[in-house]
Amino acid sequence: MPKLNVNVKWSGKKFDNIELDTDESPELFKTQIYSQTGVPPERQKIMVKGGMLKDTTDMNKLGLKEGHTFMMMGTAGELAKPPPKPVQFVEDMTDAELNTALDIPAGLENLGNTCYMNSTLQCLRVIPELHTALGKYEGGIAGMDNRGNLTASLRDLFINLNKSGEGFPPLVFWQMLRQAFPQFSQTGPGGVPMQQDAEECWSEIVSVLRSKLPTVEASEADNFVGQYMTGQMQTELKCIESADEEKQVTSEPFTKLGCHISISTNFMINGILESLKEELEKNSPSLDRTAKYERVSRATRLPKYLTVQFIRFFWKPQERIRAKILRKVKYPLEFDATELCTPELQNKFSKAKAKMKEVEDKKIQKKRDEKRRKLDSESKDQPSSSSSSAMVVDQSPDDDKVDWKEYLDPDLVNDIGCNPTGQYELCAVLTHVGRSADSGHYIGWVKKGEGKEQVEKSDQRTHFLTLVLLDEWHKFDDDKVSIVRDADIEKLDGGGDWHTAYIVLYRAKQLD
């Protein structure tokens, strides 16, 4: 029998439209009445044909019709007080409430092929010093300076994203981006915005930030981009055919490194080194003719945030498109960049690098010892609960602390925004899926927070360490945001039609 809406009269009051499923037991119906009247089921006396409604009564045999009215007697008890805060179930939450509960940041709505911009912004958003510098910018979006308007709109967009729990439309920023750089205003058939190159968008935004943002800390140093995103490259040009000809040494800044992809490139480091070494022909003053030269570049300064672009697109004149190199090129989650540096800078890194390796080796050995103790305990059938087996006893936590001032080069310590160790960890990846730079789809993948160990004291003598997940990432597919792991990030190295790393962002490895 279908469900019915019935009424209940009790104590001079009428309760309308109570849903009654005649296939269910009368006990369920009494519970529904209790929720509205406060009369407990055991006190309810409900009149039906043949007497009182019992818990064993078959509701289908009562001949009830839509709108039937029951008469009830009974004394109400004290109604249960509602909880101070209503219980919310995951399936009942809105997207914004769910994102807040799971600590998932807001995504950016696609305004029509604007995934290139959305993914770029989400990757840059991982830099906390950028938020600080934007907070110091006092310009608005109504001025005549298009670059200043773009900077102010980025500041306001990040503020709105931090407040929002769901997809946010970056309309103002997109408008300012097109005003500052008209190439992003191109449209296709029907006036639909055309897909653009995320690397071009990245470079243009960084160039604006370089010219507009102040320093993060009070100093005479360069601006934000100069401090935290710019390295210094020294280039030596020597004549291969004349050993007597003097080398030419020049120096210039860089905000990203290129990873050249050839038929033999399998790893990012090899692609970068290949990009930093080239052969060319030019006129030799010592030989008075055209000769072969070799140009080799090495870094004399590494920034805290190092950007690497995979050179995956090349121009195919016949098809008139920028085709994509799909070759698999592996990039590390932790990157030692010292091989890219001059011997002088490598020497400045040496003490800190050796100490970091020593600290890491100790951590690895400690984990091995803990695992061995746990296996030994289990093999001897010693009682140990799951909670106690997961705890690590540390009798002397202060012994593991390192005074890094003893190992860091003073010049690097005083260089605000540089990487003083040459060691990096991956914090953002911008990927592309598709066969051409002018089509396909871009996504941003961003490392979540700062992973570390939390310490809780149970008494004055024993310390228990609880490990926090260190490999959580956020996948920003426009306004769709989800959680992924390190293993998912490592699959973005190319080799097919899956999402392929186009730009990767590393940050200086944090010193414990």
Query: Which residues does the annotation mark as catalytic?
Result: 115, 441
Beta bridge partners of 278: 295
Phi, psi of 162 (to 5 degrees): -65, -25
- 440 touches 432 (CB < 8 A): yes
| SS3 per-residue string spanning 52-69 | ECCCCCCHHHHCCCCCCE
Tokens of 261: 């992809």
Instruction: Give the chain's end-to-end CA distance (angstroms, integer).
Output: 68
Residues pairing with 313 in the sheet: 324
Tokens of 27: 């006990």
Q: Are 173 and 157 in contact (CB under 8 A)?
A: yes
Contact 422, 339 (CB under 8 A): no
- Please answer whether residues 139 and 148 qualify as being in contact, where contact means their C-beta atoms are separated by less than 8 angstroms: yes
Distance (Å, whole) CA 254 – CA 445 = 24
Q: Which DSSP letter does residue 218 get?
A: S
Amino acid at the residue 486: D
Spatial separation of the C-alpha atoms in residues 341 and 303, rounded to whole Å: 12
Residues in the chain: 512
DSSP letter assigned to residue 85: S
User: Nearest-CA neighbor of 394 among 452, 461, 451, 468?
Assistant: 461
Q: How far apart are CA 249 and CA 402, in angstroms?
A: 38
DSSP symbol at 288: T
Rounded Cα distance, 145 and 155, in Å: 16
Whole-angstrom CA distances from 455 to 6, 370, 452, 463 are: 58, 17, 10, 7
3-state secondary structure of 486: helix
Strand locations in 302-379 (E): 305-310, 313-316, 321-324, 334-336
Q: Report the phi/psi class of residue 385: left, alpha or beta, with left for phi > 0 and alpha for psi in -120 to 50.
A: beta
- Contact between 487 and 469 under an 8 Å Cβ cutoff? The reply is no
CA 322 to chain centre: 28
CA 70 to each of CA 33, 127, 353: distance values in angstroms, whole numbers, following the listed order: 11, 66, 82
Note the helical H segments in 49-191: 95-101, 115-124, 128-136, 146-163, 171-180
